[in-house]
Chain A
């Protein structure tokens, strides 16, 4: 059974720091991995989608990597800003049951 774990559960950093959020999954048979952002009291916003054949994807200050064989993905945020404060969730798409399997998220606070 596919399980997705995100470490740490919470992270507090000063503004300007580069940081890494981690996501691990137990079954490497995935179609893709997706990173989302959730602001308090709001819905989820898709940040990056990495196909199983890809190693990384970049969008602005965000870079996500995927190592399928080791069951790990990282989300790198460069030069963090207070506006980056949110919960970041990763999810893997496992084709055999045609749904996203979700981690519990990392709650990020970037302090001015």
Chain B
């Protein structure tokens, strides 16, 4: 089992460019999450999907959109990247919200 996979691993964008971060899990989990991790601020939830077909905002949703494409895949889109979105982005999944979360390896995004 691959667990949670994320692509790309690294990305550099110019201000105003758009991109989509991809996430997939092969554990048949219902819930999926997108976090960003910044020094001194810890992990912050951007969006989550409690089950296929649903998405909800987390703490810091502004500037992002998500799509739960099917049970396996949950993508995060930056429509117009800003330097403040420079961060490490993690995708995670769990059987349900109260269960332990499994994380992907992360995407390191730099916006210049």
A16: which B residues are within 8 A, CB to CB? none
Which listed residue, A34, A43, A104, touches B90 by the CB 8 Å rule?
A43
Interface residue tally for chain B (C-beta within 8 Å): 22
A44-B103, A93-B97 given; A102·B90 CB < 8 A:
no
Q: When the two chains form their complex, are residues A34 and B100 in contact, meaning their CB atoms are under 8 A apart? A: yes
Could you tell me the dominant secondary structure of chain B's interface residues?
A: loop
CA distance A36 to B100 in the complex (A): 10
A64 within 8 A of B: no
Residues of A in contact with B (beta carbons under 8 Å apart):
31-32, 34, 36, 41-46, 49, 89, 91, 93, 95, 98-100, 102-105
A36: which B residues are within 8 A, CB to CB? 103
Q: When the two chains form their complex, are residues A43 and B105 in contact, meaning their CB atoms are under 8 A apart? A: yes
Residues of B in contact with A (beta carbons under 8 Å apart):
4, 40-45, 48, 50, 58, 90, 92, 97-106
A32: which B residues are within 8 A, CB to CB? 98
The closest CB in chain A to the CB of B96 belongs to: A98
The 10 listed contacts between A and B (C-beta, < 8 Å) are A32-B98, A34-B100, A43-B4, A43-B103, A43-B106, A44-B90, A99-B45, A99-B58, A102-B44, A103-B42
Which listed residue, A42, A93, A104, touches B105 by the CB 8 Å rule?
A42
A99: which B residues are within 8 A, CB to CB? 45, 48, 58, 97
A24 CB to closest chain B CB, in angstroms?
15
CA distance A20 to B104 in the complex (A): 27
Q: When the two chains form their complex, are residues B40 and A104 in contact, meaning their CB atoms are under 8 A apart? A: yes
B106: which A residues are within 8 A, CB to CB? 41-43
- New contact pairs (11) apart from A43-B104, A49-B99, A49-B100, CB-CB < 8 Å: A32-B98, A34-B100, A41-B106, A44-B90, A91-B43, A93-B98, A99-B48, A99-B58, A102-B42, A104-B42, A105-B42
CA distance A98 to B105 in the complex (A): 23
